[in-house]
């Protein structure tokens, strides 16, 4: 049993609209041969706004991998501390109550990792366990909740802190003019988020109770979603084949729901989906025969914040916490997709008090 | 309960002796103001030989971060496949018998990660869980065994595959002339290793049965062991303060052994230590009042292979498997140290058949 408590989301202050991004990219690539297609695709992302770590005119300049990674460290730690303090406070907990810290983040690289910096900065117990993960991209949010669930299976009295640090704007590559690169420049947003997973819910607790978990790798798909690692840092790559992945993973999700709960996916009360993009969500709706209402909050997350990578599922979950329509014991699914092609999936119920 | 079965170690073919390294570095830095000190320190490492991914004249040339990371991917996957096949064969297992794959590796960065590539390459089940970790450096080997142990607590019937991929020679930075950098160029070796951790030992199994685990972070020590991330890749940094860490972690280890087994560290039958360097091992011997005999195989690992980062504990464990002196139920400790300053520790017993 593991209860995912209310997440904290922190968005940087630099708001950028999709209209502004169209202007920015048109200025950067004034003679792009496919500009009309690109502009049409950007306007079709269903992203209205995103929040970026730096003002947009700084985002589009590349000051070097070292500079960017230092900025990642400075701001990542600062916002991770704020998000952690808020998540602890929401649960009336102190750092000593946490047994494991998971930090997921695919937009910078630190050694020692942020888990270690957090243990020092906030006076966690020296024996607090660390689980820092960089390589699972957008699947990492649900992945982390699934690993936290397993940890509470091993230690039922434990509490796990999850922190997601994603500054995709630090991966803006001003010399990448490929269509997929320009679209992703307009899709990903920055955010730092945190939540606490409790092994033993207490009287009065509210949250998402994870019941069952599963993982999935679609084989031979390493070109679908990937990084090229260069002297200029990580270059995000997306192959159009990735669109085939949902039709493959949807039956896996359907079978999982059916096996664990003996119902069809379209009988679930809610869905918390990684907002990989509009097309991914359309494919989920179509392949699982979902009612639009059940994925409304996932679409809102994409519209309001863009794809904030591993943090998306925490953002959607946070919107679910605010939703007036949820009822105790409502059954839902959470799923996130990332490089590999990897999917991490769980089902759970609302515990309301 | 979790049984660590016999590890497989693969060393690349390019053997380099410490005498050769002295010549190579003297040629690279002919006017180094501290050369005499450096040469003395290199000859004092108690490393005789190491095995590197490329011939030494290629190691010392920097062909760019992108080139090196591509080589890491190509050779890392090739040797990870070989090590995995061998570890499976030793246990008469097939890929379908594995429930989770942990890959630890701090000398390259891939997304998707090697866990995902391995699942495709060797026909693991699509639902195999992935745990790829980059940021725990030399602590990652014991860290991974501790996480595997927890996984088998959650799922007692499960089997975990651990793979360590370390090519420290890909971090050779020919423009780093700091003393600590030159010493580390002569300390780290390359290796790929693997082993399987079984939740339920079967009749006839032999291995190291993990009994208790713990973790430790010494606060505010992020400068002790770290990477600087630059356009030229990861630059390894070691502060001389790291020497203070053993006197702090030794009482933690002593208390842990005392609490779990009611004996002093120097009554243990064997020790599997990360070979961070000669000084680290001398400090462990002195602070825990150990008999030299109990850490003999850790010293042999350093002498024969250098510090192979997260793979060291698997190398020492492999030597323990070959040792004629071990007896059923012998009690020992395993400990590894890494960035942060982080220590991962466990105790366990030999199961012999």
B127 and B214, same domain (yes or no) = no
Q: Look up the CATH number of the domain holding residue A342.
A: 3.40.47.10
The residues of B assigned a catalytic role are 138
A243 and A138, same domain (yes or no) = no
Shortest CA distance from A256: residue in chain B: B127
B142 and B283, same domain (yes or no) = no
Residue at a domain's end among A139, A163, A198: A198
Q: Which two tokens stand for residue A252?
A: 């896996």
Full residue range of the structural domain in which residue B19 is found: 2-198
> Residue B30: exposed, middle, or buried by beta-carbon count in 10 A (0-12, 13-18, 19+)?
exposed
B180 and B255, same domain (yes or no) = no
A69 and A136, same domain (yes or no) = yes
The pLDDT > 70 percentage for chain A reads 100
B98 and B235, same domain (yes or no) = no
Shortest CA distance from B252: residue in chain A: A127
Chain B closest CA to A231's CA: distance in Å? 4
Would the CB atoms of B132 and A132 count as touching at under 8 Å? no
DSSP letter at B168 equals G
A211 and A115, same domain (yes or no) = no
Would the CB atoms of A130 and B69 count as touching at under 8 Å? no
Chain A closest CA to B129's CA: distance in Å? 6
Phi, psi of A51 (to 5 degrees): -120, 125
Residue at a domain's end among A198, A226, A245: A198
Would the CB atoms of A112 and B128 count as touching at under 8 Å? no
**pLDDT band at residue A180, thresholds of 50, 70 and 90?**
confident
B279 and B180, same domain (yes or no) = no
Would the CB atoms of A219 and B127 count as touching at under 8 Å? no
Q: DSSP states of B256-305 as a string? A: HHHHHHSS-GGG-SEEEE----HHHHHHHHHHTT--GGGGHHHHHHHHHH
Per the structure, the count of domains in chain A is 2
Task: Kindly report, residue by residue over A295-319, the tens digit of the pLDDT.
Answer: 999 999 999 999 999 999 999 999 9
Q: Which two tokens stand for residue B200?
A: 């339920």
Confidence at residue B180, expressed as pLDDT on a 0 to 100 scale: 87
Would the CB atoms of B130 and A232 count as touching at under 8 Å? no
Known catalytic residue at A138:
yes
Q: Position of tokens 């390294």?
A: B21
Q: Which residues of chain B have pLDDT under 50?
A: none
Q: What residues in A contact B119, CB-CB < 8 Å?
A: 217, 219, 340
Which one of A100, A135, A230, A342 makes the best mutation probe of the B interface by having the most chain B beta carbons within 10 Å? Answer: A135
SS3 track for chain A: CEEECCCEEECCCEEEEHHHHHHHHHHHCCCCCCHHHHHHHHHCCCCCEEEECCCHHHHCCCCCHHHHHHHHHHHHHHHHHHHHHHHHHHCCCCHHHCCEEEEECCCCCCCCCHHHHHHHHCCCCCCCEEEEECCCHHHHHHHHHHHHHHHHHHCCCCEEEEEEEEEHHHHCCCCCCCHHHHHHHCCECEEEEEEEEECCCCCCCCEEEEEEEEEEECCCCCCCEEEEEECCEEEEEECHHHHHHHHHHHHHHHHHHHHHHCCCHHHCCEEEECCCCHHHHHHHHHHCCCCHHHHHHHHHHHHHHCECHHHHHHHHHHHHHHCCCCCCCCEEEEEEEECCCEEEEEEEEEECC
Q: What residues in B contact A239, CB-CB < 8 Å?
A: none
Average pLDDT, chain A: 96
Would the CB atoms of A113 and B126 count as touching at under 8 Å? no
Chain A closest CA to B74's CA: distance in Å? 13
Confidence at residue B243, expressed as pLDDT on a 0 to 100 scale: 84
Q: Which of A5, A13, A4 is nearest to A191 (CA)?
A: A13
Would the CB atoms of A135 and B110 count as touching at under 8 Å? yes
Residue at a domain's end among B144, B175, B198: B198
Confidence at residue A128, expressed as pLDDT on a 0 to 100 scale: 98
How big is the A-B interface in CB pairs under 8 Å?
A: 175
* A135: nearest CB among B113, B155, B215: B113
A59 and A38, same domain (yes or no) = yes
DSSP letter at B237 equals E
Q: What residues in B contact A106, CB-CB < 8 Å?
A: 111
**Does the predicted interface ipTM exceed a cut of 0.90?**
yes
**pLDDT band at residue A272, thresholds of 50, 70 and 90?**
very high
Would the CB atoms of A116 and B154 count as touching at under 8 Å? no
Confidence at residue A112, expressed as pLDDT on a 0 to 100 scale: 98
Task: Kindly report, residue by residue over B285-312, the tens digit of the pLDDT.
Answer: 999 999 999 999 999 999 999 999 999 9
Average pLDDT over residues A96-117: 98
B280 and B319, same domain (yes or no) = yes
Confidence at residue B245, expressed as pLDDT on a 0 to 100 scale: 93
Confidence at residue A240, expressed as pLDDT on a 0 to 100 scale: 85
Cα gap A320→A318, rounded to integer Å: 5
Q: Which of B5, B30, B142, B23 is nearest to B86 (CA)?
A: B5
* A132: nearest CB among B117, B133, B221: B133
Neighbours of B340 (CB within 10 A): 29
**pLDDT band at residue A275, thresholds of 50, 70 and 90?**
confident
**pLDDT band at residue A212, thresholds of 50, 70 and 90?**
very high
Shortest CA distance from A235: residue in chain B: B111
Confidence at residue B102, expressed as pLDDT on a 0 to 100 scale: 98
Chain A closest CA to B151's CA: distance in Å? 7
Shortest CA distance from A73: residue in chain B: B229
B7 and B140, same domain (yes or no) = yes
């Amino acid at each position: 049993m593991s209860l995912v408590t209310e997440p904290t989301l922190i968005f940087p202050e630099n708001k950028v609209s999709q209209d502004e991004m169209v202007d920015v990219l048109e200025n950067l690539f004034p003679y792009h041969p496919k500009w009309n297609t690109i502009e049409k695709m950007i306007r079709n992302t269903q992203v209205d706004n995103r929040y970026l770590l730096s003002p947009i005119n700084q985002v589009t300049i590349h000051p070097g991998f070292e500079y960017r990674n230092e900025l990642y460290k400075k701001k990542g730690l600062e916002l991770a501390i704020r998000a952690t303090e808020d998540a602890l406070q929401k649960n009336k907990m102190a750092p000593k109550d946490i047994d494991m810290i998971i930090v997921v983040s695919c937009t910078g690289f630190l050694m020692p990792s942020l888990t270690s910096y957090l243990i020092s900065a906030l006076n966690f117990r020296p024996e607090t366990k660390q689980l820092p993960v960089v390589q699972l991209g957008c699947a990492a949010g649900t992945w982390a909740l699934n690993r936290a669930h397993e940890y509470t299976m091993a230690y039922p009295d434990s509490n796990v802190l999850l922190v997601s640090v994603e500054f995709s704007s630090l991966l803006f590559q001003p010399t990448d003019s490929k269509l997929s690169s320009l679209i992703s420049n307009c899709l990903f947003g920055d955010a730092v988020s945190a939540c606490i997973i409790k092994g033993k819910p207490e009287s009065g607790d509210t949250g998402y109770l994870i019941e069952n978990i599963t993982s999935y790798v679609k084989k031979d798909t390493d070109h679908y979603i990937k990084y090229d690692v260069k002297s200029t840092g990580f270059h995000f790559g997306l192959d159009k084949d990735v669109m085939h992945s949902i039709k493959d993973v949807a039956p896996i999700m359907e079978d999982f729901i059916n096996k664990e709960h003996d119902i069809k996916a379209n009988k679930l009360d809610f869905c918390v989906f990684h907002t990989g993009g509009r097309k991914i969500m359309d494919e989920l709706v179509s392949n699982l025969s979902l009612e639009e209402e059940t994925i409304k909050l996932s679409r809102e997350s994409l519209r309001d914040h863009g794809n904030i990578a591993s943090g998306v599922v925490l953002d959607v979950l946070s919107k679910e916490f605010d939703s007036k329509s949820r009822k105790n014991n409502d059954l839902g699914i959470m799923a996130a997709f990332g490089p590999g092609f990897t999917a991490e999936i769980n089902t759970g119920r609302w515990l309301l008090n």
